[in-house]
Structure 1
Amino acid sequence: MTEKLFDTVLVANRGEIAVRVIQTVQRLGIRAVAVYSDADVQARHVRLADEAVRLGPAPARESYLDIDAVVDAARRAGAQAVHPGYGFLSENADFARALEAAGIVFIGPPVASLDAMADKIRAKETVSAHQVPVVPGIADPNLSDEQLVAQADEVGFPLLIKPSAGGGGKGMVAVHAAADLPAALASARRTAASAFGDDTLLLERLITSPRHIEVQVFADAHGTVVHLAERECSLQRRHQKVIEEAPAPLLSAMDDGGGALRARLGQAAVNAARSVGYVGAGTVEFLVSDDRPDEFFFMEMNTRLQVEHPVSEEVVRVRGRRQDFVELQVRVAAGQELGFTQDDVGLEGHALEARVYAEDPANGFLPSTGQVLTWEPPRGEGVRVDAMLFPDTPDEQPAITGFYDPMIAKIIACGVDRTEAMQRLDGALATTVLTGVTANLAWLRDLAALPAVRQGALTTTMIDEMDAWSPPALSAAQLAVVAARLAEVDRSASSERVGAWHAADAWRAVGAPSPALTLEVGGETHSVVPADDPDVAASDLDVRLDARRDPRTAWVRRDGVTWRVHRLSRSELLSAARAAAAARRAPDGAGSPEARTPMPGTVVAVHVATGDRVEAGTHLADVEAMKMEHPVTAAMAGTVTVHVAVGDSASADAVIATIDPDPASD
Structure 2
Amino acid sequence: MFRTVLVANRGEIACRVIRTLRQLGIRSVAVYAEGDHGPHTSEADQALRIGPAGAATYLDIEAIMEAAQWSGAEAIHPGYGFLSENAAFARACTASGITFIGPEPYALEVMGDKIRAKNHVAQAGVPLVEGISEPGLSDEQLIAAAEGMTYPVLIKPSAGGGGKGMHVVDKPQDLPETLKTARRVAKAAFGDDTLLIEQLIRSPRHIEVQILADSRGNTIHLGERECSLQRRHQKVIEEAPSALLDEATRQRIGEAACATARSVGYLGAGTVEFLVPAEAPETFYFMEMNTRLQVEHPVTEEVTGIDLVAQQIRIAAGLPLEITQQDVNLTGHSVEARVYAEDPASGFMPSTGEILCYQEPEGAGIRVDSGIRRDQEIGTGYDPMLAKVIATGADREQAFVRLEQALAGTVILGVTTNISFLRQLAADPEVRAGQMDTTLIERRIPQMEFPTAQQHHAEAAAAALSPQPAQGAPLAWRRDGWRSGEPVPARYQVLPSAAGSDQEPFTVTLQGPLRPDSGTRTVTASATREGTEVWVHAQDYTGAFTVLDHQAQVLRHLSRLKAEHTEAVPEVTAPMPGTVVSVGVVDGSAVTTGQVLVTLEAMKMEHQLTAPLEGTARIHVNQGQTVKLGQVVAAVEAAEEPAAAADSEHTSRENTESKDT
Q: Is the 8 A contact 2:356 2:375 kept in 1?
A: yes
Q: Which amino acid aligns with 2:32?
A: Y
Question: How do 1:637-648 residues align onto structure 2 when only pairs under 5 Å count?
Answer: 637-648=614-625
**Cα offset, 1:103, TM superposition:** 1.1
Q: How does 1:39-78 map to 2 (within 5 A)?
A: 39-40=35-36, 42-61=37-56, 63-78=57-72
Q: Secondary structure at the match of 2:608?
A: strand
In structure 2, the CA distance between the partners of 1:632 and 1:577, relative to structure 1 (3 Å rule), is farther
Q: Secondary structure at the match of 1:459?
A: coil
Residues of 2 paired with 1:221 and 1:307: CA distance? Answer: 24
8 Å contact 2:615–2:637 — kept in the other structure?
yes
CA distance in 2, matches of 1:639, 1:566: 35
Task: Tell me which residue corresponds to 2:369.
Answer: 386
Choose the corresponding residue for 1:651, options 628, 644, 649: 628
Amino acid at match of 1:398: Q
Q: CA deviation at 1:479?
A: 2.2
Trace 1:179-578 onto structure 2 (pairs within 5 A).
179-251=173-245, 258-316=246-304, 322-390=305-373, 396-468=374-446, 469-488=448-467, 515-522=491-498, 523-533=501-511, 539=517, 542-546=520-524, 552-567=532-547
Q: What do the CA deviations read for 1:318-349 (whole angstroms, capped 9, x no partner)?
A: xxxx2111000000000000122211111100
How far 1:51 moved relative to its partner?
1.0
Equivalent position SS for 1:263: helix
- What is the DSSP-based 3-state SS (H/G/I as helix, E as strand, rest coil) of the residue aligned with 2:58? coil
Contact 1:138 1:155 in 2 (8 A): no
Instruction: Report the count of equivalent residues.
Output: 625
Alignment-derived partner of residue 254 in structure 1: none
Q: Quick check: 2:48–2:67 contact (8 Å CA) kept in 1?
A: yes
Amino acid corresponding to residue 81 of structure 1 in structure 2: A
Please list the CA deviations of residues 173-232 of structure 1 after superposition, one character each: whole Å capped at 9, or x if unmatched: 111012221221111111111111111110000010000000000000000000000000
CA spacing shift, 1:654–1:60, aligned 2, 3 Å: same
Deviation of 1:478 after TM superposition, in Å, equals 4.0
Provide the identity percentage: 51
- How far off is 1:473 after superposition? 2.7
For residues 148-190 of structure 1, what are the alpha-carbon distances to aligned partners after superposition, in whole Å with 9 as ceiling and x for unaligned? Answer: 1222222221000000002011110111012221221111111
- 1:620/1:574 CA distance change after superposition, 3 Å: farther
Alpha-carbon shift at residue 655 of structure 1 (Å)? 1.2
How far off its partner does 1:397 sit?
Answer: 3.3
Specify the SS of the correspondent of 2:174.
helix
Q: Between Structure 1 and Structure 2, whose CA radius of gyration is higher?
A: 2
Contact 2:152 2:169 in 1 (8 A): yes
| Mapped contact 2:591–2:615 kept (Cα < 8 A) | yes
Structure 2 unaligned spans of 5+: 644-661
1:6 to 2, 18, 34: 2
C-alpha distance in structure 1 between counterparts of 2:63 and 2:556, whole Å: 44
Q: Deviation string for 1:443-483 (max 9, x for gaps)?
A: 11111111001111111111112233442233334423433
Equivalent-residue separation in structure 1 for 2:84 and 2:558 (angstroms) = 49
Task: After superposing the two structures, state which structure 1 stretch, 291-300 or 463-472, moved more.
Answer: 463-472
Deviation per residue, 1:336-374 (Å, 9 max, x gap): 001222111111000000101111010111111110011
Instruction: Report the Cα distance in structure 1 between the residues aligned to 2:318 and 2:505, rounded to whole angstroms.
Output: 67
- Whole-Å Cα distance in 2 between the matches of residues 385 and 124 of structure 1? 35
Change in CA separation of 1:572 and 1:18 when aligned onto 2, cut-off 3 Å: farther
SS of alignment partner, residue 34 of structure 1 = strand
Task: Tell me, yes or no, if the aligned pair for 1:210 and 1:289 is still in contact at 8 Å.
Answer: yes
Q: Distance in 1 between matches of 2:578 and 2:73?
A: 34
SS at 1:170's partner residue? coil
Q: CA deviation at 1:534?
A: 7.2
Contact 2:302 2:334 in 1 (8 A): yes
CA separation of 1:609 and 1:430: change in aligned 2, threshold 3 A? same
Structure 2 Cα separation of the partners of residues 124 and 179 of structure 1:
27
User: 1:622: Cα distance to partner?
Assistant: 0.8
Distance (Å, rounded) in 2 between the aligned partners of 1:288 and 1:549: 53
Which residue number in structure 1 is paired with residue 647 of structure 2? none
Alpha-carbon offset, residue 580 of structure 1: 6.7
Change in Cα spacing, 1:601 to 1:120, as seen in structure 2 (3 Å) is same
Q: Kindly indicate whether the alpha-carbon contact (under 8 Å) linking 1:636 and 1:659 is maintained by their aligned counterparts in 2.
A: yes
Instruction: Supply the AA of the counterpart residue of 2:582.
Output: A
What SS does the aligned partner of 2:464 have?
Answer: helix
Match of 1:136 in 2: 130
Structure 1 residue 547, shift from structure 2 partner: 5.3
For the Cα contact (< 8 Å) 1:531–1:537, is it kept in 2? no
Q: Per the alignment, in what secondary structure is the counterpart of residue 89 of structure 1?
A: coil
For residues 536 and 620 of structure 1, do their structure 2 counterparts lie closer, same or farther at Cα, with a shift above 3 Å needed? closer
Q: 1:566 to 1:122 in 2, by over 3 A?
A: same
- Cα distance in 2, alignment partners of residues 262 and 538 from structure 1: 52
| Alignment-mate amino acid for residue 126 of structure 1 | H
Choose the corresponding residue for 2:32, options 36, 42, 65: 36
Contact 1:486–1:553 (CA<8 Å) still a contact in 2?
Answer: no
Contact 2:463 2:513 in 1 (8 A): no
Moved more, 543-552 or 471-480: 543-552
Which residue does 2:649 correspond to in 1? none
Preserved contact between residue 86 and residue 108 of structure 2 (Cα < 8 Å): yes
Q: CA RMSD in A?
A: 2.5
After the TM superposition, which of the residue ranges 220-229 and 612-621 deviates more from structure 2? 612-621
Out of 524-533 and 648-657, give the one that drifted further: 524-533
1:521-543 Cα shifts (integer Å, max 9, x gaps): 43134333323257768536614
Map 1:83-162 onto structure 2 (within 5 A). Answer: 83-162=77-156
Change (3 A) 1:483 1:299: same
* Greater Cα offset, 10-19 or 69-78: 69-78
Q: 1:335 to 1:541 in 2, by over 3 A?
A: closer
Distance 1:477 1:337, change over 3 A: closer
Residue pair 2:461, 2:547 contacting (<8 A) in 1 also:
no
Structure 1 Cα separation of the partners of residues 547 and 308 of structure 2: 47
Provide closer, same or farther for how the CA distance between residues 214 and 288 of structure 1 changes in structure 2, counting only shifts above 3 A.
Answer: same
| Post-superposition offset of 1:29 | 1.2
**8 Å contact kept, 1:482–1:543:** no
Compared with structure 1, are the counterparts of its residues 535 and 292 closer, same or farther at alpha carbon in structure 2 (3 Å cutoff)?
farther
Contact (CA 8 Å) 1:517, 1:527: kept in 2 or not?
yes
Distance in structure 1 (CA, Å) of the matches to 2:52 and 2:218: 42
Unaligned runs of 5+ in 1: 252-257, 317-321, 391-395, 507-511, 587-591
AA at the equivalent of 2:459: A
Report SS of the residue matched to 2:32: strand
Q: Write the distance in 2 (CA, Å) between the matches of 1:477 and 1:544.
A: 12
Q: Deviations 1:570-592 (Å, cap 9, x if unpaired)?
A: 6777666666767xx68xxxxx7
Q: Which residue of structure 2 aligns with residue 589 of structure 1? A: none
Deviation at 1:597, TM superposition (A): 1.9
1:603 and 2:580 correspond: yes
8 Å Cα contact 2:369-2:387 kept in structure 1: yes
Of the structure 1 ranges 648-657 and 529-538, higher mean CA displacement relative to structure 2 is found in: 529-538
Structure 1 residues 517, 220: closer, same or farther in 2, change over 3 A? same
**Alpha-carbon distance in 2 for matches of 1:163, 1:309:** 24
User: For 1:663, which of 620, 637, 640 is the aligned residue?
Assistant: 640
